[in-house]
Amino acid sequence: MLSVLPSIGMVLITSIYSIVDGFFVSNYAGKSGFAAINLLWPTIMILGAVGLMVGSGGGSLVAKVKGEGYPEKANRIFTMLIRFTTQLGIVMGVLFAVFCPAISRWLGADADMMAECVLYGRICMIGLPGFVLQMAFQTFFMAAERPQLGTLMSVVSGVVNIAFDALFVWALRWGVAGAAAATALAQLVGGIYPLIYFSSPRLNKGSLRMLRHTRLIWPYIGRALTNGLSEYVGNIALSIVSICYNLQLMQHLGEDGVAAYGIVIYISFVYSAMFIGYNIAITPIIGYHYGARDVDEQRSLFRKSLVIIGITGILMTLSSELLSGPLARIFVGYDAELTVLTVKAIRIYMLCFLICGWNMFVSALFTALQNGVVSAVAAFARSLVFELACVWVLPAVMGIDGIWWAVNVAEGLTLVLCGFLVWRFAPQIVGRGK
């Protein structure tokens, strides 16, 4: 189980992009710019999550094919998926840059925030192809049995992001433009080097490699996208819910509400990265044993995962309660009223980590078992159906605190659903059959 640690590290470091941007922009460009990037970032994540969908679904497929004893076929599938991801990233980046003003208006940006939203979004699109690839490669590094290299590349890109944020935002005072440029450069580093590595026989000595001549075979691409749909749904659902949070908060609290929520989400990014990284690592492992028809090992991995995730969730929740004050002051210590609001939001919202890790793992489990539909149902219900409903309903019942409590109610409802899905659609996992 220690093999999951490099994958957790990759996702954890990747999650710092928006956090570092937020820290520098909030402290050196003001809370208006901070609110602007938090308003736009969820839509950028919707695009980046395409890479996670391809990587999660494709990585599981590649691992299954390798487990069945067809390594060359696995290489062909891997190559076509990376080419497809690269082309899609370029197309999405161009379209988003063109429609960025309209998207910003739809998200609720006011006149003061509009220019900063458009500037940040368009510069970030330069790095989008690299961002999409970086998300995809996180799983493929595991399938290639090179998790340490994936972690190293995430560290390098993270350092690039921090260094250029310090240069562009702190030293040169470029504001949101500097934050976007730093993020784009880091994403390009994180996405382009793995392309070079997997294409080079001299660098790549592993079992997974990119081939020179492999055409796109749409049935395999379709299988990968379908199988990774739950991961994509989970990520875009988070972004859609974040947009709804921001709309509600702009209405009730204005910029302060959006800024406070942005800090909550930054902390959530780091904590969620632990679970996402674990799931990225464990999915191809379970997928391999599923392809090899080793039911006992599948069941053992399931039980160990429940324990590890449960303990991790308790530690996360305790740490968030103890560190809520210092974390809030790091970002908005210059505004006492906003700091108080942020501390309260952190303490309520972060209770969800007591149980959300189990819900995320169930989605990953069904991805590994090649049941993308059930996996998507769990992710869709968790993030879109339950949380979206709670975001709109609870504030009417509880007032503004209902916004912060929405995620906790949604995770509780999802836990009940996930228990039923495992019992009904994975009987071998819980010991009801072979």
Highest mean pLDDT of the ranges 19-23, 42-46, 323-327? 323-327
Do 116 and 36 meet the contact criterion of CB atoms below 8 Å apart? yes
CB burial of residue 397 (10 Å; 0-12, 13-18, 19+)? exposed
pLDDT tens digits, one per residue of 96-148: 999 999 999 888 887 778 899 999 999 999 999 999 998 888 778 877 777 77
CB burial of residue 390 (10 Å; 0-12, 13-18, 19+)? buried
Residue 274 reports pLDDT greater than 90 = no
Look at residue 47 in the predicted model and tell me its pLDDT: 92
pLDDT tens digits, one per residue of 392-422: 899 889 888 999 999 999 999 999 999 999 9
Whole-angstrom distance, CA of residue 84 vs CA of residue 221: 8
Reported confidence tier of residue 433, pLDDT bands at 50, 70, 90? low
Look at residue 95 in the predicted model and tell me its pLDDT: 96
Cα-based distances in Å from 389 to 153, 365, 402: 39, 25, 11
Pick from 97, 110, 2, 116: nearest CA to 44: 97
Whole-angstrom distance, CA of residue 388 vs CA of residue 397: 15
Tokens 């969730």 -> residue: 313
pLDDT tens digits, one per residue of 287-314: 888 878 888 888 888 999 999 999 999 9
Residue 6 reports pLDDT greater than 60 = no
Rounded to the nearest integer, the mean pLDDT of the chain is 85
pLDDT tens digits, one per residue of 353-388: 999 999 999 988 888 888 878 888 888 888 788 988
Residue 7 reports pLDDT greater than 80 = no
Residue 434 reports pLDDT greater than 70 = no
Whole-angstrom distance, CA of residue 228 vs CA of residue 291: 17
Reported confidence tier of residue 157, pLDDT bands at 50, 70, 90? confident
Look at residue 89 in the predicted model and tell me its pLDDT: 95
Cα-based distances in Å from 179 to 14, 167, 374, 404: 15, 10, 39, 28
pLDDT tens digits, one per residue of 189-248: 989 989 888 888 887 777 787 877 777 878 888 888 888 877 787 667 777 888 888 888
Residue 10 reports pLDDT greater than 60 = no
Average pLDDT on 150-178 reads 87
Look at residue 11 in the predicted model and tell me its pLDDT: 58
CA 286 to chain centre: 21
Do 137 and 56 meet the contact criterion of CB atoms below 8 Å apart? no
Q: Where are the domains of the chain?
A: 13-227, 231-434
Look at residue 311 in the predicted model and tell me its pLDDT: 96
